[in-house]
Amino acid sequence: MRDVFGYIAYGENELYHRGALLSALKLLYHCPEAKIIVATDRPELFVDYPMETLLLTDMQKEAWSFSGQYHFGIKARALIKLLRMTDRLIFMDSDHYPAGFLSLGFESISPKHSVMRRLEKPHKWTPVLEGEGLRIGEHVITGREPMWQSGILGVHRDNLPALMDAYPPMLAVHQISKIDAAEQFCIGIALSLGGGRSARISSRSGTIIREGRRRSQNLVYIASSMHTLPSPLHGKSSKLADIECGGRR
């Protein structure tokens, strides 16, 4: 099984590229055998290091950003490209820095279990989406679904269809609700639906469970003290707490 750590870095601000490179190098320090792919429009910045690159072209960025109307669409489509290159993907934003051994985290990723960084508080603007007829697959968006943070994303290749379903409504969600977080909002919904029975997303603070194919109001948040990504290997675990976010633990 091919397990890959992924990063996405694009745009004129070189800081994002250097952040992704620093994070990847810290990852290699803690996980020397890690396979890393960086989706970037500046592959020359990564060529001298032990990682692969996936070129993001100007044409792709224009199309994926809905002709420049929502640039986080580039991240959403690049995630799809990265996942097509692997079986299990752990993605991190370029301002997230590994501080421990993370490879065992792949063992918690399955077709019915995805990982996102954390469950955020309900967003005050998303309820305006109710009645707009926006859909993710067969699910009609109510605007009251949970908001999962996508700075860390662990996903199985079998959930490619979920990521693909999440992409088309992002622009409308962004324009109607006036939130930049449309990408993570749609991805969280899609992954909670995409694994069929008992599909779930977990973070350090809780788990979301999709029971059967009921409607979105039956998505249940279970508060817990899950501070690790559990692994059956050697009784060890890979801690989400072992990723520094924005320079702070």
pLDDT tens digits for 150-169?
999 999 999 999 999 999 99
Note the pLDDT of residue 249.
Answer: 33
Into how many domains does the chain fold?
A: 1
Tokens found for residue 164: 């693909």
CA-derived radius of gyration, the chain: 17
29 falls in which pLDDT band (50, 70, 90)? very high
DSSP-based three-state secondary structure for 209 = strand
Instruction: Specify the CATH number for the domain of residue 124.
Output: 3.90.550
According to DSSP, the residues that pair with 245 across neighbouring strands are 96, 248
Grouping H, G, I as helix, E, B as strand and the rest as coil, residue 113 is strand
Q: Looking at residue 124, what is its pLDDT?
A: 86
pLDDT digits (tens, 9 = 90+) for 100-125: 899 989 999 999 999 998 888 888 88
Q: What is the pLDDT of residue 231?
A: 27
How far apart CA 10 and CA 72 sit, in angstroms, is 11
Each residue's pLDDT tens digit, 4-28: 999 999 999 999 999 999 999 999 9
**Other CB atoms within 10 Å distance of the CB of residue 19:** 20
Specify the DSSP element, H or E, that contains 117.
strand 113-120
Task: Give the bridge partners for 171, in sequence order.
Answer: none
Residue 193 or residue 231, greater confidence: 193
* pLDDT score of 84 more than 90: yes
Q: Is the pLDDT of residue 140 over 50?
A: yes
Query: How far, in Å, CA of 115 to CA of 18, rounded?
Result: 25
Arithmetic mean of pLDDT, 86-111: 93
- Asked whether 7 and 97 are in contact (CB, 8 A), the reply is no
Q: Residue 244: its pLDDT value, please?
A: 55
* Domain coverage including residue 101: 3-245
**243 DSSP β-pair partners:** 98
Q: Is 223 helix (H, G, I), strand (E, B) or coil?
A: strand
Provide, for the chain, the percentages of residues in helix, strand and coil under a 3-state DSSP scheme, each rounded to the nearest 5.
Answer: 35, 25, 40
pLDDT in tens, 42-72: 999 999 999 999 999 999 999 999 999 999 9
Structure tokens at 159: 């959930």
pLDDT tens per residue, range 223-245: 222 222 222 222 233 344 454 55
Using alpha carbons, list the distances in angstroms from residue 206 to 6, 87, 146, 220, 226: 24, 24, 12, 10, 6
3-class SS at 72? Answer: helix
At residue 70's C-alpha, the angle toward residues 182 and 139, to 5°, is 35
